[in-house]
Amino acid sequence: MAFLHSHATSFGYKQVPEEQKSKLVGNVFSSVASSYDLMNDLMSVGLHRLWKDRLISKLNPFPGMKHLDVAGGTGDVAFRVLERINSVSHRAMQGTLPYTEEDTQIYVCDINPNMLNVGKKRASERGYKEDNFLSWIQGDAEALSFEDGSMDGYTIAFGIRNVTHIEKALSEAYRVLKRGGRFLCLELSHVDVPLFKEIYDVYSFSVIPAMGELVAGDRQSYQYLVESVRRFPNQEKFAQMIQEAGFARVEYENLVGGVVAIHSGLKL
């Protein structure tokens, strides 16, 4: 039987053949795309905004940079990078900058076209002219369509746990970054703090799927979400994987006791 010989990977707590995982993940995100932003706010009690802000300040964007945000279809991270760059530009108007603001390019890559369409729509609602600074590409984190050494920065926020082969995504991130480029990953992680861990578990397994049912009409997708977080490697293990992909100065920062972690690395 083919199943016995194929590799299995985790989809939440279900073991599924590898080929199926990306299809199942795809279905999850087509389903969640429209209520994605609202659910993020509800599940994290608005905290995801602060977490993304923290991600951007660690990134330290600069005018003229080429930045790739992966799995960021709806544009949350991309808009923050742009806004940060705009504010840096204005503050630096007095002095001379090595790059002009016009060279700034933010590439948003997502495997799901629904998420990208939401992002594009939000971009125009915010008054960003089409194709000015922002580019939207449908692509696979495991096989990026960007040239070697083309990016100053790479971010992936709440996306890497959905990738079938994390090592491939990490080595692709390494490939597309320039020397001196930075890798940053914001992801749900592992809580070890006693008592808080138990509360967090109850919240995750009871409250979140119910919220998913109520708000998005989709309990199953949010059940998957919660399970995928538990199956994802812990902070130390993930840091090790980033190092194995070739990154140097790998470190991580826990937020809210490890509910989320920001891992970073440098391509030397």
Partner 1 sequence: MMRRTATLLLRQNGSGVGGGIPQALADVLVCPLSKKPLRYCEASGSLISDAVGVSFPIVDGIPCLVPKDGKLMDQDQKESEDCTRILPTTNEK
Residues lying near partner 1 in the complex (CB under 8 A) are found at 66, 105, 107, 111, 113, 116-117, 120, 130-131, 135-140, 143-148, 150-151
In terms of CB distance, is 39 or 141 closer to partner 1?
A: 141
Residue 9 annotated as binding site: no
- Report the alpha-carbon distance of residue 222 to residue 34 in Å, rounded: 14
Residue 110 annotated as binding site: yes
What are the structure tokens assigned to 243, written together? 């190092």
Q: Report the DSSP pairing between strands 260-266 and 248-255.
A: antiparallel
Q: Least distance to partner 1 from the beta carbon of 116, Å? A: 6
Q: Least distance to partner 1 from the beta carbon of 167, Å? A: 17
Q: Would you call 224 helix, strand, or coil by DSSP? A: helix
In terms of CB distance, is 64 or 257 closer to partner 1?
A: 64
What are the structure tokens assigned to 222, written together? 């949010």
In terms of CB distance, is 113 or 257 closer to partner 1?
A: 113
Residue 141 annotated as binding site: yes
Q: Least distance to partner 1 from the beta carbon of 150, Å? A: 5
Q: Least distance to partner 1 from the beta carbon of 174, Å? A: 13
Q: Least distance to partner 1 from the beta carbon of 127, Å? A: 17
Residue 74 annotated as binding site: yes
Nearest to 40 by CA among 30, 57, 52: 52
**Structural element, H or E, at residue 261:** strand 260-266
In terms of CB distance, is 110 or 218 closer to partner 1?
A: 110
**Structural element, H or E, at residue 155:** strand 151-157
In terms of CB distance, is 11 or 252 closer to partner 1?
A: 11
Q: Would you call 168 helix, strand, or coil by DSSP? A: helix
What amino acid occupies position 133? F
- Report the alpha-carbon distance of residue 202 to residue 217 in Å, rounded: 21
Cα 206 versus chain centre, distance: 25
Residues belonging to the binding site are: 74, 110, 140-141
Residues belonging to the binding site for S-adenosyl-L-methionine are: 74, 110, 140-141
